Each structure stands twice: as structure tokens, then as C-alpha cells.
Structure 1
Amino acid sequence: MSAEPFKKSAVTVLVGSANPVKIESVRASFALYYKNVRVLPVSVESGVGIQPVGAETFIGAENRADALFRKNRSKKLGADFFAGIEGGIINLHGRWLSFGGVCIRDSAGRKGFGSSAMFELPGSVVKELLAGTELGDVMDKIQNGHNTKQKHGAVGFFTKGRIDRKKFYESGIIAALIPFLNRELFDGRA
């Protein structure tokens, strides 16, 4: 497979967050396929609660990508892709897991969805999340830190630094790019 499946060598991506970890994970993921990547952070609302549960996570990511798409059109920003990333939790097999949901949309309106890896959360953390506290705030309290979600995140803490939040999101972003990397299969031409 070609290392550069897209036709353009340069790309502009709007990301629906001012979080430096999300911005850098988008940049690193797109840099695998493009020589020149420009990432512009644009704050947009997710339309879901501060700690999405289950499908709300993907709904929030899609809402962010859609809002970026509309903003790009109305302000004529000239972006090629729009990245919505949302951290959430889901209950599977009686266990609560944390994950990142991703929606990538292109300027033609096509969408791709992906997910990061998932990791189990301890019951004490889940209790606070289900009571309405955001995971980042819970983790700040556990670590006596501030804004750890813009650094290593919960995944960095729980893996003892083996996986940081940037790497965590990169897998979901790359997965969301699959329909764009394989258009002939996803557009029904294969």
C-alpha cells in the first residue's frame, strides 16, 4: 500500500478542541498520510454532557465534526477535514471502560468513525463519573494535579506512563480515516 493514499500532499484539518493533546494527536495521525499538515483548533460544542456515556460519545464527536464542517463553509476557511474527538465511558460485560470516540468528516461531507483502545476504570472513579463529574476532574483529584487531561490523561496514569493520551487518541483517529484510505471499498466501487 502506498504511504500516501490521498491525492494532496498538504492538508488543513480543523479539530473541535483547544486541548493540545487532541491537536497533536490529529497532527501526528494525518502526518502519516500527508507531507504537510496544518491543524487549526476551533472550539465547538459537542451537544452531549460533560461525561458522555456509550453512544453519546460518538454523537458528541460527530456533532463536533459537523459543527466544524458548517463553520468552515460559513467562514470559508478552506479546510479539508474536520475532526471531532470525544472522551467517554461505556459499560460492557458489567465493566466500565473509558475510550475516545472519533468522527472525521471531509469537505465533501463523507464521514469516518473510529475508537481508541478501551481500558477499565475502577469503581470509585465510575461512581463519580455517573454522578456527573468529568473524568479529567476525577483524575486531577486522584493525582493531586491540574489539567492532567491536557497531558498524560487517565490512560497515562493507569498504564503507569506506557500509553499517553496522545497515543491513545491517535489509534482512534487513524481508524476513523479508514473509509478515506479505502474509498473504493466504502463508496461501493469495489
Structure 2
Amino acid sequence: MNLAVGTVNQAKVSAVKSCWLFGEVKGFKTQSGVKDQPFGHDETRQGAINRAINAAKCFDGAAGIGLEGGVAEHHDGLYICNWGALYVPGIKEPFTASGASIRLPDEIAAPLRNGEELGPLMEQYSKQKNIRQNEGAVGFFTNGRISRSQMFEHIVELLIGQWEYTRGK
């Protein structure tokens, strides 16, 4: 089965390509249906679901995958949060999974709470262009130990594993 990824972001598309062994993988620019900077787990998860469903419509007969990065409040600060969804035509509900989460420094969290977006903030903070296409905030704040692509690979494996489990039932 082929897979449509609901983004053209290279970190996300490469994460999917490294995990999907069942057919061709293509990235498509899709809408998440949520804010450019999703805030909270629910909104971030919904963005992933919307991207998965929209992506499947772009590639005839393919399943769709959506990967969405957001931020979520916790009692001790603002954290990166990440969600993924796998939509397989013929299966009622998309599979969903979340991934790694780390606390953001206060100097990044404050402008996010005021409506700014993480990608542009990280470009200014890190002095790196297109950081969201490469290591991302997670890579920057883990000193390169975990890249954005690796973080999304984990989510993709969780999604594929759920799908494989239901196929074996």
C-alpha cells in the first residue's frame, strides 16, 4: 500500500520514508485545520488526524499519515508535543500516537504563549535557517542527540505497529 504524507517538510517526510516498507511514500502540502502553532495535545492531535485524512485524498488508493508538532502547558512550563495519525481507507478511525516531549526555555515559551510560532522563534534563537526542516527545536535543545526526524520516526513506528496489529487479528 502506498502512503501519502500530509506535509512536504523534509524532516517529517524522511521520517516516514525510513519506516514505511509497504509501498511508495509521497509528501503533499495539506491543511491541518488547526492554528499554525497548535497549542495543547488535543489541537495538535486533531491537526495530525486532519493532515492524514487530507493526505490520503491526494494519492489515489493510498493511506494517509499526518504528523503535527505543537506545544502544551504543564504545571512547570511549556513543552514541545508531537502527534501522528495514520488513516487507512476502510478502517473507521485513524490510528494515533504521540511522541517525545521536552520543556522549552522560558525565553521561547513566553512568545509562544503570546501567539508566536515555534519555527520562526527557533530560527531567531538558534540563528539557523529552516531549523524545522532539519534538527528542529528538539534537536537544538537535546544538543543533537534526537533530531526532529528521529522524534517523528518513533511516532510513525507506533502508528505502523498499531495498524499491523489490527491486520493480524
Common fold, TM-score beyond 0.5? Answer: yes
Aligned partner (choices 26, 43, 47) of residue 16 of structure 2: 26
Aligned to 1:15: 5
Given that 2:4 and 2:58 are in contact with CA atoms closer than 8 Å, whether structure 1 keeps it comes out as: no
> Does 2:124 match 1:141?
yes
Q: CA RMSD in A?
A: 1.7
* Structure with bigger gyration radius: 1
TM-score by length of 1: 0.82
1:47-66 → structure 2 map (5 Å cutoff): 47-54=33-40, 55-66=42-53
In 2, the alpha carbon distance for the partners of 1:169 and 1:51 equals: 17
- Structure 2: stretches of 5+ with no match in the other structure: none
Query: Structure 1 residue 52: deviation in Å?
Result: 0.3
Aligned partner (choices 68, 74, 90) of residue 108 of structure 1: 90
Q: Secondary structure at the match of 2:20?
A: helix
Q: Secondary structure at the match of 1:119?
A: coil
Q: Secondary structure at the match of 1:17?
A: coil
TM-score by length of 2: 0.91
Cα deviations by residue, 1:66-104 (Å, 9 ceiling, x for unpaired): 1123344xxxx221x201111011112332110211011
- Identity, in percent, stands at 30
One-letter code of the match for 2:27?
A: P
In 1, the alpha carbon distance for the partners of 2:167 and 2:124 equals: 48
Query: Structure 1 residue 184: deviation in Å?
Result: 6.4
Aligned partner (choices 10, 20, 44) of residue 30 of structure 2: 44
